[in-house]
Chain A
Amino acid sequence: MSDAAVLAVTDLTVTIGTRRGPARAVAGVDWSVRAGETLALVGESGSGKSMSVLAATGLAPRAARVTGQVRLLGTDFTASSPDRRRRMRGRHVGFVFQDPMTSLNPVLTVGRQVAEAGEEHLGLTRRAARARAVELLDLVGIPSAAQRVDAYPHQFSGGMRQRVVIAMALACEPDLLIADEPTTALDVTTQAQIVELVADLQRRLGTAVVWITHDLGVVAGIADTVAVMYAGRILEQGPVDAVFGQPAHPYTTALLAARPDPAAGGGDLVTIAGAPPSPLALPAGCAFWPRCPVRGDARCEHELPPLRPVSTRHHVRTFYPQHADGRAGHE
């Protein structure tokens, strides 16, 4: 596999027209993911993490205006025709969404649904596609796949359904797998199974993975690089060890401290006061400023901090990066 990015977005901006004016869901985001690598996009609801990926793959809602550059396998994806984009997406990108029930058609057997992508994009015959479906269901760990291939989605448990969705996503041997909160609807023991499965498949197939989640624990387990998003922008970005080990942005620090930690005893949790800003009225300066425990000064309020390196490959968007021991650095 080459070292080049499978998917790279540059200055991606998504503006959605609403009744109450334009909402900027994503505001100038850069990230890329290479073969065999996992990029985790982390953030709370409304941070723009899902929207940035949907826009990058041409799946943004019709009301959205997308600008910026997207390169998929070296091709300028944004400049391609809608039809070519659809074919490229079908052939090279696999999707796994949060709710496995709504991702599956209840009236078709799982085998049909897994086989469909192979027929459509790889030109397999019906018989070959079915054999491939059995192979894929087996690959994602569905027991006695040869029999289960003719079962319907409702005959599967939540975890098994998500395995079927992953099999569908892998049908065309995609170069890129987009996983949008794939384990959020699942139980924690099932989540562990799915995380393990995706990591194993990635090792074997060399797929690039973009994993969208709000769960920092999942990120720590699966990601190579992390981008922490807030109000449409990346606040901190870098290798997972750097971002978790030496979080430099007050938001990252606060998020890491907001989880109850049984080792730390039962005092009150560190909270971030308030709620994220409305995408209809983003502040001029740092969007996190009104809630920031560091609070900074007038500069934070009026001037957008640039995304600056704190070490190689570790970037942060703040005027006041936290120290290496950032976790304990504020009260």
Chain B
Amino acid sequence: MSEHERPDRQPGDSPPAGEVVAELDELCVWFPTPAGVVRAVDGVSLRVRRGETLGLVGESGSGKSTTGLALLRLVDPTSGTVRVAGQEVTGWSRRRLRALRRRVAMVFQDPQASLDPRLTVGSSIAEPLIVHRLTGGTAARRRRVEELLDMVGLRRDLADRHPHELSGGQRQRVGIARALAGEPDLIVLDEPIASLDLSVQAQIMNLLRGLQRDLRLTYVFIAHDLAAVEHMSDRMAVMYLGRIVESGTPAQVWRQPAHPYTAALLSAIPVADPQVERQRRRIILSGDIPSPVDPPTGCRFRTRCPQARPECAATDPVLAEVAAGHRAACLFAGDAVRAMRAS
């Protein structure tokens, strides 16, 4: 464990830079359904270090949201471990978990649905303060709520409004203020911009980055939007059917994708330039993502992979390093992508 080496720790200060805030080890989350056991997350390991943003990208059914929920223990792991700030929280009781949820906060996709319509904005933001008894009286709480509203760029008088009186962007700012209230070690952002308008998406992304700079926040940024994840993250992981298929820095993943799925995903993203669009060659994947009840043997992507070979059905590829800090779970990492792009 090398993360405790950093000497720049101040007495009484938060833990030192680079320390692992949260860690998943071989996490599996399976849900029993009438159709069979859904393997939503099936062997995911990752680490989030203080002050960084880890991006999780994937399409629906990739398990990225379930992975985020597991960090707050909002879902029960079937196997594997969840560690937060060095403590294993996998088997914690309901009561202890409530304390965990002060250290790990969450921002949800739909800001309208994630705010109680009957509570004022101020009450929603103050709820973590009340639940965890963080501020003394009503006046102190009110001051803290105003401070949080300032931080997320909302007027203080909005504290007395109800969610339906706000715009989508304002509501998401309220969601972010609520997540900040308990000064968490980690904030899980689950598709925080997906239901917002384009110009508002940029506002929220800038706000999140600004807050991270000022408060040294740690994020797990979950999205299906590869360009947004690339923009927001220090490191990112691409998920497919409950597994991480590629991880690395955004530059590595974006410029030299090593997994055929990442390459296909990249090529599917439309670019706002008609000339580029006309010239580019798209890798159109055939078919749909297979059922997580009965994932393919061997490599999970092989049923849709344009470069699948017989070996792929027999061997389940592990995440292996293709360059420093860049990993891919493909038997033919790199070569397959080059072949796809050439054909």
Contacts and interface: CB of A to CB of B under 8 A. Distances in A.
Contact of A220 (B200, B271, B282): B271
B205 A192 contact: no
B25 interface: no
B202 A271 contact: yes
A79 interface: no
Interface in A238-281: 240-241, 244-245, 254-256, 258-262, 266, 268-273, 275
B265 interface: yes
A232 B2 CA distance: 58
Nearest to B61: A187
Interface string A146-190: 000000000001111000000000000000000000000001111
Interface residues of A, number: 44
A196 B284 contact: yes
Given A220-B270, A256-B272, A275 B288 contact: no
A273 B198 CA distance: 12
Nearest to B282: A192
Contacts of A273: 203
Contact of A214 (B170, B198, B203): B198
Contacts of B197: 44-45, 214
Contacts of A292: none
A241 B273 CA distance: 8
A188 B169 contact: no
Interface residues of B, number: 44
B228 interface: yes
Nearest to B204: A271
Given A187-B60, A260-B227, A221 B200 contact: no
A188 B269 contact: yes
Interface in B244-293: 250, 254, 264-265, 267-277, 282, 284-285, 288-289
B235 to A, nearest CB: 13
Contacts of A262: 227, 230-231, 250, 254
A196 B267 CA distance: 13
Given A196-B284, A261-B227, A240 B202 contact: no
Nearest to A266: B231
A244 to B, nearest CB: 5
A331 to B, nearest CB: 15
Contact of A159 (B254, B271, B288): B288
Contacts of B264: 189
A5 to B, nearest CB: 22
Nearest to A42: B198
Contacts of A80: none
A89 B260 CA distance: 44
A218 interface: yes
A187 B261 CA distance: 13
A275 B169 contact: yes
B224 A187 contact: yes
B265 to A, nearest CB: 6
Contacts of B169: 275
Contacts of B231: 260, 262, 266, 269
Interface string B16-53: 00000000000000000000000000000000000000
B276 A220 contact: yes
Interface of B: 59-60, 167-170, 197-203, 205-206, 209-210, 224, 226-228, 230-232, 250, 254, 264-265, 267-277, 282, 284-285, 288-289
Interface of A: 44-45, 157-160, 187-193, 195-196, 214-221, 223, 240-241, 244-245, 254-256, 258-262, 266, 268-273, 275
List of 8 A-B pairs having minimum Cβ-Cβ separation, nearest first: A217-B270, A260-B231, A187-B59, A216-B272, A192-B268, A44-B197, A269-B202, A272-B199
Given A187-B60, A240-B274, A266-B250, 6 more contacts: A187-B289, A193-B284, A220-B270, A259-B227, A268-B206, A271-B206
